[in-house]
Structure 1
Amino acid sequence: MLKRAVVLAGVLLLVTAGSSADKQFIVGGTLASVSEAPWAVVVTNTQSSRPTGLWCGGVLLAPDKVLTAAHCMTKPVSTYGAIQGRANLSDNSTGRVSGISKIWIHPGYNTKNNRNDFAILTLAKPFAGVPLIALETNPNADRRGVTLTVYGWGDTADTGPDDTLQKAAVPDLGDDACLANKEYVANGYAAASNVCAGNGSTDACQGDSGGPLVLNGRLLATVSWGKGCADADFPGVYAEIAPVAETLAQQVR
């Protein structure tokens, strides 16, 4: 299983050893504007292999708090940064930039089963005045058949410009679709803490970790892991918000 952070100097960030090399893009996406997703944030790192510093995605929960994936937090706090309001990461004339002063990782995060894949970054310079997204608190919101939207800045495999905000509609497949996959169960997929979404034409991938999966204007989940990208046999796995909504809310009050 491949965690969906940026690949570092060609080294795959694997959940388990022995997984095959996976593709690196939001598949089947279209351009998105920062006005439709102002709460979507880029998490950067000075050690990124990308010229733009792209490392992971994130979501603004408070003027000074960004939610991202715990598995993205592998470097010193001083190497991280955040960008808001910049659709094209190569355009330094737009958007707001901040350093990171503190990193909180969910105490239940476990690299063996990949659950509670959440981290909250405290911005050194708050993004004041930016609209925020509400956390989904209803566990029944994750249900088969609804259409979700995932946002990210990852590679596009020639379906669009690189390092540019994209969105993709992905179907919620329901937990049974991932629980039927022995590899996914072995890597920790759980109905109580994950969302199973995507198909053979749309999906998230590397560079999108921690980014938002949205349903009806609320944050249903964040990008976490998966095998391949846009592979009908291996859906995307997302970290579900509802089971941890109160814990996350306590960190942004």
Structure 2
Amino acid sequence: VLFVSCGLLLCQERIVGGYAPVPHSIRYIVSIQTTERQHVCGGSLINKYWVITAAHCNIGLDRMMIVAGDYSLTIYEGTEQEILPQHLVPHPEYNKTTNNNDIMLIKVRKLSYVSVALLPRQGAPIAEGRMCRVSGWGYTSPNTGLIPATLRTVKLPIVSARNCNSSESFDGGITDNMICAGYSTGGKDACKGDSGGPLVCEGRVYGVVSWGKGCADAQFPGVYTAVSKYRMWIDDTIFNYYSKCKKD
């Protein structure tokens, strides 16, 4: 369970107001856990060897385990694959104070019986009001502190950077590398434990759950790392990893 300090804001990575999807219908999502099997964050398989998540989910290579093919965190379903990560690549310019560049890649051994998430092209915009879906095993209420047994999902509209950055909301804290999604009235949001999970728009992962103020609070939508800003970094990081392996 992670808390991130953001100055005067307590940034709780937060699914509130959502529902349980059809079991195993979201097959690209993974649970990032401690080696003691405690869920910490979500992530998305972008191919059979690599996971995308948030940089603040980095608990260390020797303490981390990736669980793919899961729906319930408490029931053995026979579809789970537990994998120890081989390599972590947090963005080199990640800033834990501002949450800028909150993105990380995790190299794993090949996974079977899973699907992979598509990514947007570099710089691809996502329009204000477009409906997207965020999923995860995070808190279903900001007050109970309970992690749900099964995966949850909720649909949210994209909020413009202008509105998200207004004095009534995050007051300038949103950088060009972030996107916001949620309702002005609140009530639906990602929540603590959903960090690193996917915000899927038009069939592609446009966002990674990053930070926010509370869970589902009015005027404070969830804040996500804008994946389209990092497509070239993602591709280059993976390419360079294999290039280095060949040289070694």
Shorter-chain TM-score bucket reads: 0.7 to 0.9
Does residue 117 (structure 1) correspond to residue 102 (structure 2)? The answer is yes
1:210 to 193, 196, 201: 196
8 A Cα contact 2:5 2:11, kept in partner? no
Which residue matches 1:31? 20
For 1:152, the aligned partner's letter is G
For 1:162, the aligned partner's letter is P
For 1:143, the aligned partner's letter is A
For 1:45, the aligned partner's letter is T
Does residue 77 (structure 1) correspond to residue 61 (structure 2)? The answer is yes
Alpha-carbon separation, structure 2, partners of 1:242 and 1:103: 20
2:228 to 206, 222, 242: 242
8 A Cα contact 1:68 1:119, kept in partner? yes
The 5 A counterparts of 1:64-213 are: 64-73=49-58, 75-94=59-78, 95-123=80-108, 125-137=109-121, 139-157=123-141, 162-181=148-167, 184-185=170-171, 188-190=173-175, 192-199=176-183, 200-213=186-199
8 A Cα contact 1:32 1:87, kept in partner? no
| TM score, norm. by length of structure 1 | 0.84
| TM score, norm. by length of structure 2 | 0.85
Alpha-carbon separation, structure 2, partners of 1:54 and 1:229: 18
8 A Cα contact 1:34 1:40, kept in partner? no
8 A Cα contact 1:33 1:87, kept in partner? no
Alpha-carbon separation, structure 2, partners of 1:155 and 1:20: 15
Which residue matches 1:3? none
Q: Secondary structure at the match of 1:67?
A: strand
For structure 1, list consecutive stretches of 5 or more residues without a partner in the other structure: 1-5
Alpha-carbon separation, structure 2, partners of 1:161 and 1:110: 27
For 2:187, the aligned partner's letter is S
Alpha-carbon separation, structure 1, partners of 2:200 and 2:140: 20
8 A Cα contact 1:29 1:169, kept in partner? yes
Which residue matches 1:252? 238
For 1:55, the aligned partner's letter is V
Does residue 14 (structure 1) correspond to residue 14 (structure 2)? The answer is no
Alpha-carbon separation, structure 2, partners of 1:107 and 1:20: 24
For 1:29, the aligned partner's letter is G
- What's the CA shift for 1:233? 1.5
Figure out how many residues of one structure are paired with residues of the other and give that number: 233
Identity %: 30
8 A Cα contact 1:154 1:164, kept in partner? no
For 1:81, the aligned partner's letter is M
- What's the CA shift for 1:101? 1.7
